[in-house]
Structure 1
Amino acid sequence: MHDHPFGFLLEVVLRTVIMFMVILIALRASGRRGIKQLSIFELVLIIGLGSAAGDPMFYDDVGILPAFVVFLVVISLYITVTRLSDRFVKIEKLLEGKPLYVIRDGKLLMDAFRDSGLSQDEFFAELRLRNVEHLGQVRTVLIETSGEFSVLFYADDDVKYGLPIFPDELQNKLNNHGNCDYIACAKCGGVRSGKDVTKLPTCAECDVCEWVEASNARRVG
């Protein structure tokens, strides 16, 4: 308790109830956008509100009225900026970014993938959670501004040969052509015929010579 009397505990309870109600009202005022998957801007909002709400709950020298003013300013800024971003596309892109295409036609777009900041293991783990077995099942993958993945699949009849994304298959690198019908680059997922290949080539897309046998299994689930 330090130098505070025990009666200050009752004040802490009252302060916490007040700030709890203020947080509820503030988030309600921010609209549904404040309670879905957080964007970077919304995360700034939550951090700002949390900092303004926490101290007045138990520091006796921090008044509730200044914290309430901070809430009003933060929420006002949030509402103003979100309305501007809804009206002006450039402001929205500046604050939220834009969706990032990382796979098209079953192949990794290497420049975009590097921009995503994800490792291959992390990315493939996300795809496996969506019942993806190999990249030939996937037509398009976008990383949304919220960080969520949007995965568009090929129809079963249109599934192509693709890079398998399970660890044991990825680690099973080919030492030679291996008499495979198709081979897939272990880095970018580019697929080419493995027939009549006497020596594994260097991938023209990513300049890597690591290949695995391509899979053409249909998606399950």
Structure 2
Amino acid sequence: MIEIKKMFLEGAELDFLLEIVGRSVIMFILILVILRLSGKKGVRQLTLFEVAIILSLGSAAGDPMFQEELPIIYALVVLFSVILIYKLITWLSTKSTFINKILEGEAMVVVRHGMFDLKHEHDGDFSKMEFFSELRNQSVEHLGQVRMAVLEIDGSMSILFYPDAEIKYGLPLFPDDYQQITIHAAGAPIACMYCGQILENIPQEQSCPRCQRKKWALAIDTKRI
């Protein structure tokens, strides 16, 4: 039988509980100050390197909140040391393209000329469904509307659109239209459901000549709203 009182209250000291509240408030304020000193304004702007810095700050701030034997000055030294390291490495990355690439990675082309770019198809971070979601969030109905889409190092998506006069048939991105069809159902240009290759008819071998996949959807060429 689990003893709830023992789990939550045994050994607890009221005076130290009040001290924990004070320590938590102080550390929370210190974290806010340190983050302001880092110069970042939002989570969408954080790179992997900066996420590592945030985790380091959180670890340094967490222990003094509830460990009575750790004075807050220790955490303060760690916090300012971490932010100094961050500033130094950030400065070095502005001087060296190589260091910048290691710390922050590179932007990745997701869509090129109305089709998914296949260069990164085996990357661990290549998720077609995530790209579908990001493109839909920017009111992209099908890939034929997109000249180029780039996944930035901060996780945002930058998109260059075709003008209305140049929009072509493309792979639909919304669930109602992103449906697999059979050979006999094809009556218009078709799109490979994996890479977005457009064909007038399903080939005899039923596989996409670009990515060798065998699933097709009806392509659409609607204009952007």
TM range (shorter): 0.7 to 0.9
Q: Does residue 205 in structure 1 map to residue 210 in structure 2?
A: yes
Q: Deviation of residue 214 (structure 1)?
A: 1.4
Measured against aligned partners, the alpha-carbon deviations of 1:31-90 in whole angstroms (never above 9, x if no partner) come to 136765321111111111111111111211222122112112211110100111112111
State the match for 2:182 in structure 1. 174
- What is the distance in 1 between the residues matched to 2:84 and 2:203? 67
Query: Quick one: which amino acid aligns to residue 161 of structure 2?
Result: F
Q: Does residue 109 in structure 1 map to residue 114 in structure 2?
A: no
Pairing 1:28-67 to 2, within 5 Å after superposition: 28-32=36-40, 37-67=45-75
**TM-score for the superposition, normalised by structure 1:** 0.88
Given that 1:55 and 1:62 are in contact with CA atoms closer than 8 Å, whether structure 2 keeps it comes out as yes
1:184 match: secondary structure = strand
Query: Quick one: which amino acid aligns to residue 183 of structure 1?
Result: I
Aligned-residue sequence identity (percent) comes to 42
Judged with a 3 Å threshold, the aligned counterparts in structure 2 of structure 1 residues 208 and 176 are, in CA distance, closer, same or farther, namely farther
Judged with a 3 Å threshold, the aligned counterparts in structure 2 of structure 1 residues 198 and 162 are, in CA distance, closer, same or farther, namely closer
- What is the distance in 2 between the residues matched to 1:158 and 1:203? 24
Given that 2:93 and 2:99 are in contact with CA atoms closer than 8 Å, whether structure 1 keeps it comes out as yes
Measured against aligned partners, the alpha-carbon deviations of 1:1-22 in whole angstroms (never above 9, x if no partner) come to 5445322233223322322232
- What is the distance in 1 between the residues matched to 2:218 and 2:115? 15
Given that 1:176 and 1:199 are in contact with CA atoms closer than 8 Å, whether structure 2 keeps it comes out as no
Q: Does residue 15 in structure 1 map to residue 15 in structure 2?
A: no
Q: Give the unaligned 5+ runs of structure 2.
A: 1-8
- What is the distance in 2 between the residues matched to 1:62 and 1:32? 29
- What is the distance in 1 between the residues matched to 2:158 and 2:27? 37
- What is the distance in 1 between the residues matched to 2:61 and 2:142? 47
Given that 2:172 and 2:220 are in contact with CA atoms closer than 8 Å, whether structure 1 keeps it comes out as yes
Given that 1:163 and 1:185 are in contact with CA atoms closer than 8 Å, whether structure 2 keeps it comes out as yes
Pairing 1:11-160 to 2, within 5 Å after superposition: 11-32=19-40, 37-115=45-123, 117-160=125-168
Alignment coverage as a number of residue pairs: 217
Measured against aligned partners, the alpha-carbon deviations of 1:72-128 in whole angstroms (never above 9, x if no partner) come to 221111010011111211111100001000110001112224326243223212211
Query: Quick one: which amino acid aligns to residue 174 of structure 1?
Result: T
2:14 match: secondary structure = coil
**TM-score for the superposition, normalised by structure 2:** 0.86
Aligned CA RMSD, in angstroms, stands at 2.2
Which shifted more, 97-106 or 122-131?
A: 122-131
- What is the distance in 2 between the residues matched to 1:138 and 1:206? 19
- What is the distance in 1 between the residues matched to 2:41 and 2:105? 16
Q: Give the unaligned 5+ runs of structure 1.
A: none
Query: Quick one: which amino acid aligns to residue 59 of structure 2?
Result: S
- What is the distance in 1 between the residues matched to 2:208 and 2:26? 63
- What is the distance in 2 between the residues matched to 1:34 and 1:175? 48
State the match for 1:215 in structure 2. 220
